[in-house]
Structure 1
Amino acid sequence: MRGLIWNCRGVGKRGMATCLSDLTSDHSLDFLGLQETMKRDFTPKCLGRIDPFDLFRWNWVPSVPSEGKSGGILCGVRQDTLELVA
């Protein structure tokens, strides 16, 4: 099992989706955890840029604007490898 946990300081930065997609495929990651995404919500389009083949199941904790310019967690687990229980 391979995974990546990264304090990315903003998942919406230019080139970040391509970087994450490349990391996921190049290293055959089974899970991905991103801290400080600075995003309140993730659209299917946004997740599709990170996971173009829809291999992962995604959950997130939104960033709260009142807490400053940080926060937010995005977690993805590969559906054919891991089971998301709760």
Structure 2
Amino acid sequence: MRGLIWNCRGVGKKGMATCLSDMISDHSLDFLGLQETMKKKFTPKCLRRIDPFDIFQWNWVPSIGKSGGILCGVRRDTLDIIS
């Protein structure tokens, strides 16, 4: 099982979605956790840029103001989310 936990300090930065998508495929990640996303919500379009083949189940905790926010993704065919 391979995973990545990263304090990314803003997931909306230019090139970040491509970077994350490349990391997922290059390292065959099973889970991804991003801290300090600085986003209140993630649209399907935003998640599709990170995960173009929709292989991850995504959940998030919204940021409060300009700090915080967590995005977590787990590979659907490897892991199950229980609650």
Percent identity over the alignment is 82
Residue 71 in 1 paired to residue 62 in 2?
no
What is residue 81 of structure 1 aligned with on the other side? Answer: 78
Give the gaps of 5 or more residues in structure 2: none
TM-score (norm 1): 0.95
Aligned 1:48-59 pairs, distance under 5 A: 48-59=48-59
- Distance apart, 1:70 and its partner CA: 1.4
TM-score (norm 2): 0.99
Aligned length: 83
Give the gaps of 5 or more residues in structure 1: none
Runs of 4+ in structure 1 over 6 Å off: none
**Structure 1: distance between partners of 2:76 and 2:28:** 13
Q: Secondary structure of 1:75's match?
A: strand
What is residue 6 of structure 1 aligned with on the other side? Answer: 6
